[in-house]
Structure 1
């Protein structure tokens, strides 16, 4: 399995018991969706390795307590700490309306409700407190805060992200 065909689910944070169980932090708003997994891909030494799950259940909201098959000691669990967990993109729940996954809208045309085509969405930068749409507008990088009130519509059929960008924001970047 290739990483580009998967989505990031979370990271193994720490050991839980002397029997090889681990606690994985899940990077999701709905951790309960992942309680009954049969397996996950664990990134180990740069490779995605399938790990089969013997038992898993939620632990303190955002953590999943996992017992992997053939991981039955503290030492085995220790080797997994810090490893990232992935699942195939096909396992993502479908979203509709104006809800979207970041990877889903990459490459969409960004349309402003007043000014028209702004450019192509390169990526969503979520490394700061406020996620930003990074848009390529004819070679100029335009940053627009990813705020619900700015998102007019996600048009999946035409691969367009229609935004209501506040007056003056694009003027900071473009001669519009």
Structure 2
């Protein structure tokens, strides 16, 4: 399986117990809809299949997994921080009306006072709020994504219109 045939769902964040259980942190929004009979872990820049023996999905964007042939904590530790993928064929269907924060990646940001700032290259999700990362010249500009700053989302032209607080853009210049 090649990486372009898969989609990223998260990473292994820690081990749990002594019997090889690992915790996966989901960065994929609809993780509850995914089929986890097997997953692929990126190891040495290759995707390696792991078959799921048991799992428990949690409400806090995590799940606890037991994989076949991972029977102790020492083997589980070798999987820490590995990226987790599923084949694109397992991606759940989305309602065309749905819009997720992660859909803003690739949008051009236009500020009311500073004009065009650049393209959103990442969305960092934190418990307190989501942060947009914009390629602004040779630097990365970051700002919270919230209703106070968003003026309009132009889905057709892929432009995010914002009114950022005075001084925020100047911090990055």
- Give the shorter-chain TM-score range: 0.5 to 0.7
Higher alpha-carbon Rg = 1
Change (3 A) 1:31 1:78: farther
CA distance in structure 2 between the aligned counterparts of 1:46 and 1:158, rounded to whole angstroms: 35
How do 1:1-176 and structure 2 match up within 5 A? 1-2=2-3, 6-18=7-19, 21-28=20-27, 33=32, 36-58=35-57, 61-69=60-68, 71=69, 73-74=71-72, 76-87=75-86, 91=91, 94=94, 96-97=98-99, 99-101=100-102, 104-112=103-111, 114-115=112-113, 117-124=115-122, 126=124, 131-136=131-136, 139=137, 141=139, 143-148=141-146, 149-170=148-169
Q: Give the alignment's TM-score, normalised by structure 1.
A: 0.65
Aligned length in residues: 165
Structure 1 residues 151 and 77, CA gap change in structure 2 (3 angstroms): same
Contact 1:15 1:78 in 2 (8 A): no
> Take 2:154 and 2:134, find their aligned partners in 1: how far apart are those partners?
18
Say if 2:24 and 2:65, in contact at 8 Å, map to a contact too.
no
Q: Which ranges in structure 1 are unaligned for 5 or more consecutive residues?
A: none
Q: Using the TM superposition, name which of 31-40 and 144-153 deviates more.
A: 31-40
Match of 1:80, SS? coil
CA contact (8 A) 1:35 1:57 kept: no
Q: What is the CA-CA distance between 1:87 and the residue it aligns to?
A: 3.5
Do the aligned residues in 1 keep the contact of 2:54 with 2:67 (CA within 8 Å)? yes
Task: Name the TM-score, length of structure 2 as normaliser.
Answer: 0.66
Q: Which moved more, 1:153-162 or 1:117-126?
A: 117-126
How far apart, in 2, do the equivalents of 1:122 and 1:4 lie?
Answer: 24
State how far apart, in whole Å, the 1-side matches of 2:119 and 2:53 are: 41
Question: Once the 2 structures are TM-superposed, how far is the Cα of residue 33 of structure 1 from its aligned partner?
Answer: 0.8
Moved more, 159-168 or 23-32: 23-32
